[in-house]
Amino acid sequence: MSATSARSYAVLSIATAVVTIALKTGAYLLTDSVGLLSDALESSVNLVAAIAAFWALSFAAKPPDAEHTFGHSKAEYFSSGLEGSLILVAAVSIAIAAWGRLGNPQPLEQLSIGLLLSLVSTVINGGVAIILLKAGKRLRSITLRADAHHLFTDVWTSIGIFVALALVKWTGWLILDPLIALLVAANIVWAGVRLLRETGSGLLDESLPAAEQALITNILTQYQNQGLYFHAMRTRSAGSRRFVSFHVLVPGDWTVKQGHDLCEEIELAIIEALPDTHVSTHLEPLEDPVSWSDQELDRPHTNP
């Protein structure tokens, strides 16, 4: 992953949050709508999260050192975890503000201007969310993906508030304002919980996706057809980096150089198919029964 490229997207997210906060705060001050207040609060969370994302991406880009020999890529999970927590805090704040208005709805002022400002901020957030999501998938950054999903949540929040306030303007039903704010809070809670679950999976060293594991298996199968064998494969991801390890079983009469060259060839094939992958191999003789102690598959019938 290009650290500079990823950080540039984080800067874009920060700038977007500043602009949308200004627009939504202006809309709230003009209308006194608790729905628009909830929208502004969520954008404030976006700003804090974007700043945290910039820090996490900068820290994750640091090269390995004596104390962190596998690098610092897991720093991205601190950002996504913080963002998930802040989303939940924003949801609680919105719910508290909306609950107070349920029993005492307030008249709304200058709704037309407020709705226009809200619409502009929604379009900006939607465009940036699409950019961040594409970049997050391309760069394999959970931080950028988390930021994108948060912005998409903000977009749907804004759309719901826009529709509700348009109905208030049309029908005069002031109760719709706090009701939609409560629905927004519930939706934000779901987004926050989902993000925290993804963060937890990363911190617990969840295996690579099935499609990526299948790709690795296909590469190994090509060599297995040549009379070699593999077992004890382990995979995990840390931020944008993948980690793969497995044992390589070769005929016992091979030279060290033969085994080394084979392992290097396999490692390069996997890295070419899955960039940003750290591959570790352990060489063993096919004839050694100890090598098969943790084997899940049947031993191949070969005559090396």
Give the whole-angstrom CA distance, residue 8 versus residue 52: 14
Please, what are the domains in the chain? Answer: 3-203 (1.20.1510.10), 210-292 (3.30.70.1350)
pLDDT band at 267 (very low <50, low <70, confident <90, very high): very high
pLDDT at position 279: 92
| Predicted confidence band of residue 87 (pLDDT cuts 50, 70, 90) | confident
Please give the model's pTM, rounded to 2 decimal places. 0.59
pLDDT of 223 above 90: no
Instruction: Output b/e per residue, 102-127; b: 16+ Cβ within 10 A.
Output: eeebeebeebeebbebbeebbebbbe
Amino acid 105: pLDDT? 66
Q: What is the pLDDT of residue 103?
A: 66
User: Which bin fits 202, alpha (ψ -120 to 50), beta or left (φ > 0)?
Assistant: alpha
State the greatest distance between any 2 C-alpha atoms of the chain, in Å, as a whole number: 87
